[in-house]
C-alpha cells in the first residue's frame, strides 16, 4: 500500500590510514537495491533494469560523479577521527 524508498550512505574504515576509507552510497526501492556508488570502483553500478539505466546516465555526468567522489573527502574523512576514537 505504497512504496518504500531508502538511501543508505556509509563509510567503511579498514585502517587508520585515510587511504583505506571506502564510501558506499546505495539507493533502495521496495527493499531491492537498485544502484550503488562505491568510491573504490569510482562509479555507479546498477543492479536492476532501472538501476542500470540510472547508472549509465549518472556515470555520463561528470558533475554528478565529481560530487559523489567529493563525499569521501567531505564526509568520511572528516568523521574518521570520531570513528577511530570510539
Report pLDDT digits (tens) over 13-23: 887 777 788 99
Q: Which domain holds residue 68?
A: 5-85
* Model confidence at 1: pLDDT above 70: no
C-alpha cell at 71: 563525499
- Write down the residue that cell numbers 564510501 correspond to: 23
Backbone angles phi, psi at 32, to 5 degrees: -120, 125
Segment holding 78, helix H or strand E: helix 77-85
Residue-level pLDDT at 17: 72
Cα–Cα distance, 10 to 14 (Å, whole number): 13
**pLDDT tens for residues 28-63?**
999 999 999 999 999 999 999 999 999 999 999 999
With a CB cutoff of 8 Å and minimum separation 6, the contacts of 54 are 27, 34, 35, 44, 46
Amino acid at each position: 500500500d505504497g512504496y518504500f524508498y531508502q538511501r543508505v550512505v556509509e563509510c567503511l574504515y579498514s585502517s587508520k590510514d585515510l587511504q583505506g576509507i571506502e564510501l558506499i552510497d546505495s539507493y533502495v526501492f521496495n527493499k531491492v537495491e537498485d544502484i550503488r556508488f562505491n568510491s573504490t570502483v569510482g562509479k555507479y553500478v546498477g543492479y536492476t533494469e532501472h538501476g542500470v539505466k540510472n547508472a549509465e546516465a549518472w556515470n555520463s555526468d561528470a558533475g554528478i560523479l565529481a560530487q559523489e567522489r567529493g563525499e569521501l573527502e567531505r564526509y568520511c574523512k572528516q568523521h574518521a577521527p570520531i570513528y577511530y576514537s570510539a
